[in-house]
Amino acid sequence: MRIALFSARAYERALLDELNVRYGHELVYFETMLGPETVALAKGFPAVSVFVNDIVDANALKHLAEGGTMLVATRSTGFNHIDVQAAESRGIKIVRVTEYSPNSVAEFAVGLLLALNRKIPRAYNRTREGNFSLDGLMGFDLAGKTVAVIGTGKIGRIFAKIMAGFGCHLIGFDVYHSPEFEAIGGRYVDADGIEDADVISLHCPLTPETHHIVNERTLARVKRGALLINTSRGGLVDTEAALEALKSGQLGGIAIDVYEQEAGLFFRDLSSTVIPDDLIQRLVSLPNVIVTGHQAFFTREALGTILDTTLASVSDFAAGRPLVNEIKA
């Protein structure tokens, strides 16, 4: 099948070409994101593949349907960038990658926590300049501390298991209670229960219910000096409110791999430009903030599974087989 792949990076193309030998699709790569200005490029492609910041809203889906697209395959687990209802009404099927190495994201979240708490990036930068002072580098032991896991699904549970290995107490907040989380010592609390946490890590999807789940009100109630880790979706955190909480010392630090306004920034080299987003500029200037550019998924294992699953889903669609990774409204 002819597939138009948007937001296709060089590292994906090489691997896709290699994997596609087995599937025999016709792959056409577009570096650009799918959006109102670029949707015309998809005309005539029965299948379109997108990534997390592509805009697959009702307008894009209208144009895709008119251009003959029948399948949109997102190379991600999250699908908050797709209007699934609009796709269904246009008769376009949506598939995602339901599961790919949840370890990749969970391990990265732990890495961010350690880097933030023990100030490893600051120490790294200092020693390169010949500065071996320890001033300002003090962290805290994770053993014995309370870690709140918001969203105890596949990624959240692996994160929780690793934190249990550090000797942390685990509390969880989720609409669904996982026996596996409880079996590793996790205790479910309601939203107010996260007040006890020294560390809060977000692992739930972005939905209308979870949008700004961390906001001014929740931040006012967390333990003073708590650390916040977000490897899930930027829209879960009210970033302005987080910045205020950092300035007042209510939050001890934040490490984010995702950012509310990441669509115009992430996955590109903007180092030679003036970045017009004042919020991200203020965030990266603070010593107790770490920002990474949506790389938690980026391991050899995860990327291989993502791309292979995407090609397999298109083959299933072409052959009229059931779509195991289909998202329905």
Residues that bind ligand NAI in the complex, under the rule CB under 6 A: 77-78, 102, 105, 151-156, 173-176, 203-207, 209-210, 231-233, 257-258, 294, 296-297
Q: Which residues contact 126 (CB under 8 A, 6 or more apart)?
A: 132, 133
DSSP category for residue 299: S
Could you tell me the smallest distance in angstroms from the CB atom of residue 66 to ligand NAI?
A: 30
63 catalytic? Reply is: no
| Marked catalytic residue, from 12, 107, 260, 262 | 262
Could you tell me the smallest distance in angstroms from the CB atom of residue 153 to ligand NAI?
A: 2
Tell me how far apart the alpha carbons of residues 294 and 264 are, in angstroms, rounded to a whole number: 13
Whether the Cβ atoms of residue 290 and residue 119 lie closer than 8 Å to each other? no
Q: What is the dihedral of CA 293, 231, 191, 173, to 10 degrees?
A: 170
262 catalytic? Reply is: yes
Nearer residue to ligand NAI within complex by CB, 100 or 317: 100
Identity (one letter) of the amino acid at 250?
A: Q
Tell me how far apart the alpha carbons of residues 79 and 281 are, in angstroms, rounded to a whole number: 27
233 catalytic? Reply is: yes
Nearer residue to ligand NAI within complex by CB, 25 or 96: 96
| Marked catalytic residue, from 75, 96, 169, 294 | 294
| Marked catalytic residue, from 12, 107, 233, 260 | 233
Could you tell me the smallest distance in angstroms from the CB atom of residue 12 to ligand NAI?
A: 14
Handedness of CA 27, 32, 34, 36 (dihedral sign): negative
For Cα atoms 293, 230, 328, give the angle at the middle one, nearest 5 degrees.
Answer: 90
Closest residue (Cβ) to ligand NAI? 153
Length of the chain counted residue by residue: 329
Nearer residue to ligand NAI within complex by CB, 6 or 100: 100
Identity (one letter) of the amino acid at 224?
A: R
Nearer residue to ligand NAI within complex by CB, 42 or 160: 160
Could you tell me the smallest distance in angstroms from the CB atom of residue 38 to ligand NAI?
A: 23
Q: Which residues contact 326 (CB under 8 A, 6 or more apart)?
A: 93, 94, 95
Could you tell me the smallest distance in angstroms from the CB atom of residue 98 to ligand NAI?
A: 8
Nearer residue to ligand NAI within complex by CB, 89 or 305: 305
Please identify every residue annotated as catalytic: 233, 262, 294
